[in-house]
Amino acid sequence: MINYKKIIYTVLISLLAINSSFSADKRPNIIFILTDDQRYDEIAAIGNFPFLETPNLDEMLSKSIHFENAFVTTSLCGPSRASFLTGVYANRHGVVANEYLDYDKSLPTFATLLQDSGYFTGYFGKWHQAMNNRPRPGFSKWMVFWGQGKYFNDTLMTETGDDFVIPKGKYLTDQLNELALEFIDEAEKKSEPFMLYLSHKALHEPFTPPDRHKNLFKDTKVPTQDNLNDDIDSKPKYIREIAIKNRLRGGGIAPIHWKIPDKMRTVTAVDEGVGMIFDTLKEKGILENTIVIFAGDNGYFVSEHGGLHDKRKAYEPSIRIPLIMWNPFEEQPRKIDSLALNIDLAPYICEVANIPIPEHMQGISWEAILRGENEGRDGFLYEYYKEIDYRPAGGFGGTPTTIAYRTKDWKLITYPENDFTKELYKISEDPEELYNLVNDKKYTKILNTMDESLSNLLLDIYYKVPQKVERL
């Protein structure tokens, strides 16, 4: 059967290549490595956790492009991962909760577009959208675990319909790293370029390291976060409730604080995998034709704001992520301070692969920023839609629907389904968001401006609050 779609893409790519740094037959390989619940500062070179050791990520950071102001538009695994794939906000792709919702299949993802244009594509690891979604559109080969997955003794679904049982006692991160290397080995022998999507469970709870790393940081005294002592008086009532209950459970500090060393131990196996991937690319002589992007799917609280735990909130530790890109076709190393989002990945990958960026994509390709042609967006939307059955540890009611607007200097947080206090922070002077300025009359003008900017953005993207959903 003639694949007319592939023929059309081939023609378009050939035409685009005329004005591109990539020829139609020499487009770059692309590797995307995504971790789970990794804060922007959970890399040793960033320096906020002095006991942490991530030599391979440190080296990547020192030689690559570092997006210092990178964020997710929803700080929840399933919605964020769907946004990475589709290049749109959660209210557009429809994944507003974990595990049981699938993204709108009318939306082409960067994977389907790459595959249609001739890329050999692979996906290994966490999916965390619709659990029974077979196949995984856009991927020539894929192996994924159910739901949240397990660090040991897990089973992977495959594109063949067979299950792959991970050998007993084998660490999940190690297995995924091996599958990634096997895919690179297979892909390198083919004539077409490849795209690898490696999606880790690490650093998600329960923070279970491999046996070889159990004694790392054994004698480390974990520093408390500066804003643990936030008096939270100006925060919404539900924040105060959560923080107080967490501190009661943790003996004056959120229980998560004592788990930080184990969380960091799970980073180590990820870091080893990053090193192996770069070594393999060098050995095969394809590093200089391969773009490697490393990111986290959302951040995580480690006791900030009086004792917060988890994510699901519009504060910086929850929404800010690491984003590093090895790109031999661009000037590097260098730091980019423009606002970069998870929804920007898909249009960027399309552009470097000489694929027309679909009109539906709401993200902005980083190409123009990297070329110095513009400074990117003024601000972005953050959204979280409450999962009806979500009840975090401690028995309280969870996080309400939240809509926020973040610029380089300011952040406005609103709660459209509740009468909770709005929050206004001057991020440029108060990066830890300790001082809610919403009731300070000196800032009435900026509050009105932020309100207007948020409203205009919602109109621009045809925002619709998702319907309430319950777990299937």
Please report, in tens digits, the pLDDT of each residue of the chain (472 residues total): 444 444 444 444 444 443 444 455 579 999 999 999 999 999 999 988 888 999 999 999 999 999 999 999 999 999 999 999 999 999 999 888 776 677 888 899 999 999 999 999 999 999 887 665 555 789 999 999 888 899 999 999 888 888 999 999 999 999 999 999 999 999 999 999 999 999 999 999 999 999 999 999 888 777 666 566 676 888 998 888 888 888 777 766 677 777 888 999 999 999 999 999 999 999 999 999 999 999 999 999 988 888 888 899 999 999 999 999 999 999 999 999 999 999 999 999 999 999 999 999 999 999 999 998 888 899 999 999 886 555 443 344 578 889 999 999 999 999 998 888 899 999 999 999 999 999 999 999 999 999 999 999 999 888 876 555 444 3
What residues contact residue 151 under an 8 Å CB cut-off, 6+ apart? 171, 172, 173, 201, 202, 206, 208, 266
What whole-number distance in Å separates Cα of residue 432 and Cα of residue 72? 18
Instruction: For residues 177 and 122, give the distance between their C-alpha atoms in angstroms, rounded to a whole number.
Output: 13
Q: Which residues contact 12 (CB under 8 A, 6 or more apart)?
A: 355, 356
Domain ranges in the chain?
28-377
Phi, psi of 403 (to 5 degrees): -125, 125
CA-based torsion, 447, 452, 454, 455: positive or negative: positive
Bridge partners, residue 155, by sequence:
165
Cβ neighbors of 33 (< 8 A, separation 6 or more) are: 198, 200, 273, 274, 277, 292, 293, 294, 295
Q: Which residue has the tokens 């607007």?
A: 405
Ordered alpha helix ranges (H), 235-286: 237-249, 260-283
Beta strands in 320-375 (DSSP E): 323-326, 334-341
Q: Which CATH architecture has domain 28-377?
A: 3-Layer(aba) Sandwich (3.40)
Count CB atoms within 10 A of the CB of residue 162. Answer: 9
Distance CA 240, CA 226 (A): 17
Phi and psi at residue 15, to the nearest 5°: -65, -40
DSSP state of 346: H
